[in-house]
A and B are shown apart, each in its own frame.
Chain A
């Protein structure tokens, strides 16, 4: 018995880090490809949903990648995406999304906020999804080559990991035959994303540098820390309130001279 009737993939408008050209967000495309394959194999309906500008050129790349039709909730830049997406996801049995957008706030918090808002479970860093009797089993990415299976009841949100094994097929024929449909839903924002209207978007000039404490370890130690999941030192802080925890992190950064304030 098939419990999944509707799968919805949330896609965001990406942006090439070097040229600044609008493009599909690779991670969202992986989620969409997994969703499309799954919908085909269990004969469910697959929807692609985007909240933003329906004229964004990035959307047509999702059509090329097989979306068929993209439903767009037309919102302005200062509207909070979470609220308006939540209103459109009532019928979805399974919601797929990438882990992190390439533009906008790019905080990777959207799946969490959305799950909280709708009140359904969330599984992040998913690599593959298997449909069981009335649940789904998700293969979850863990660091150092580890994986684990997570079983979750539906409806649920699954955020796909950027390394999920799905091959994207870009087809010009699908790009020009697909449709972008603007949803005419009356939507009034209850909260707005602060400051967003004042942002300026530029192509990145250089890659961000990861703050990393210098290590004085032997080659063997480095190899062992790369292949085992044992702690590299440091400390896990479970106690205390958020201010105290933040102080620990700040202390660590100062100790290793990663910040100087």
Chain B
């Protein structure tokens, strides 16, 4: 038997191993719940890989190029091997092509190795550390074997074959045994069967999906996700796509603040959970532990003390409740994830179980939810008091028989004396632009955003239905709000309950009015250095990063960008009910954000959200002044008149 035949044998053996492994892994994914999917999307993988996924990866050009060389070389080499050896053609010209492909791969592997030598702390070690070596073995083995046969001495060929076998084992066994290379197969399939298909149409997909709340569809009286098998199968597949690059960890505000959350470990814990089954195994130790995780732990929680299996409750044996309650739902992890994993959906799913089934929430979250149920306000206020700040402004309040162009919804910030200044500035601007608008008055109930992020889907849906009923009885063309959380709920999440409205953030509307000349702004006398803080629910959730900047520019203010801005902005710590659950950490998230502003020497931070305003103003000591966009714009009107 010649070397060529051995390679053919090895190729088909590896292919069979890979397929067996894929079948084995797919059995694990199939333990999840059924989900809508379409086989046709398998055809969309190349586009999604080269456009959507590469768009994220290319933010870090070094590793993007490294991956292009490594994976590109490897895939090209494998295809060529499949043709030349798999089909037993044994053409010399294809051998030369294989030689070139493996050479490219080897260059890529060299850079993988370089990076691993000075790896940032966010990268996982463990099995991932052997990857440069096993990939190099594959590349060198194949490279040597594709040299013209006459050059090879027998012993060199055997050595190369052994290297090739070792390298192939990494590729072929990865998916079946859950090794690092499983990311290649799971990652591609995840692109096809992603739970949020809209992401690939160039649109943002940030709305949480509703769950059924009637008793008939309820199994075991459980809501949300209690055990790994409660996830949809394509979510489980998505967790397997993780490459443990830790970009989520680096972006996570809770991790940075020393709260016990690391999105990367959360995903890995869930992988541990769904890839172990207590019942099917003979020994009792088949509960998977997190001991093999070779990355940063949840701050303050040592690795190796948690374990789980497919049908065992996740909280608290696999993941502690504090981990879930640390999340601000800022979506920075989702934004950064090169494998397009949806961390926030997983966290809210788990929270839903804690809230709806167990009723266990920390801090002042239970009181907040009770307020929402009983008064339809977060703070337990009288709904009539929501528009007291506008009592002297002569603004009409909407009623079923009063049609208006624009309905202004204030949100919970209206009860806060600080934020009332912003709202009054906004009213002043709308008046200056001679817009036909009205306030919502006591019709307004909370949108239920906080309840939904805290997992209380029942209260959210109740409020959503009541609000939709109210809004549908009123006559308006557009809704404007200064609260991005209100914006997100009304615009993106109410559609699932039959509420379709054109909702604008005040900065979007004001930018439109300023551009059309309807709103005549003066030049600001603000001479201090200014920066703009992007609210997560405006930027990442709704893609609005330009209007606030355009407005500031139009009044002659130069925006100095902080370290993280725009779609990659750093969270203020105010979202997702995190200030209510108040999980202790080493520092507070808003302190980190203000430190960003101090670093660039900003004296004013422009904001566009009541949560951000409250969180950033809550920073003690000498800090920049926090001013809403509306306040900065309104102050130029005074100069004019």
Contacts and interface: CB of A to CB of B under 8 A. Distances in A.
A187 interface: no
Most buried by B among A16, A171, A173, A174: A173
Interface stretch (B33-41, B366-374, B538-546, B575-583): B366-374
A241 interface: no
B375 A16 contact: yes
B381 interface: yes
A120 interface: no
14 contacts: A16-B374, A19-B382, A21-B374, A21-B375, A23-B373, A170-B359, A170-B366, A170-B370, A171-B358, A172-B357, A172-B359, A173-B223, A176-B218, A177-B215
Contact of A171 (B357, B380, B383, B457): B357
A173 B356 contact: yes
A170 B373 CA distance: 11
B503 to A, nearest CB: 26
Contact of B221 (A19, A64, A169, A173): A173
B336 interface: no
A172 B213 CA distance: 9
A231 B510 CA distance: 64
A64 B359 contact: yes
A172 B223 contact: yes
Interface string B318-334: 00000000000000000
A177 B221 CA distance: 8
A176 B457 CA distance: 14
B290 interface: no
B222 A168 contact: no
A170 B369 CA distance: 9
Contacts of A169: 358-360, 366
Size bracket of the B interface: 20 to 34
A177 B223 CA distance: 12
B380 A18 contact: yes
Interface string B456-476: 111000000000000000000
Interface in B403-460: 456-458
Size bracket of the A interface: 10 to 19
Interface in B26-49: none
Given A171-B357, A177-B215, A18 B382 contact: yes
Interface of A: 16, 18-19, 21, 23, 64-65, 168-177
Contact of A174 (B359, B366, B369, B382): B359
Closest 3 CB pairs of A and B: A171-B359, A169-B359, A172-B458
B218 A173 contact: yes
B254 interface: no
A19 B375 contact: yes
B376 interface: yes
Contacts of A172: 213, 223, 355-357, 359, 456-458
Given A173-B356, A176-B213, 15 more contacts: A16-B375, A18-B375, A19-B374, A19-B376, A21-B374, A21-B375, A23-B374, A64-B359, A170-B370, A171-B356, A172-B457, A173-B221, A174-B221, A174-B359, A176-B218
Given A169-B358, A171-B359, A176 B374 contact: no
A64 B214 CA distance: 15
A200 B359 CA distance: 35
Interface in B175-227: 213-215, 218, 221-223
A252 B106 CA distance: 96
Interface string B522-542: 000000000000000000000
Nearest to A66: B359
A168 B223 contact: no
B376 A176 contact: no
A240 B376 CA distance: 52
Interface string B372-394: 01111000111100000000000
A175 B359 CA distance: 11
B381 A18 contact: yes
A168 B375 contact: no
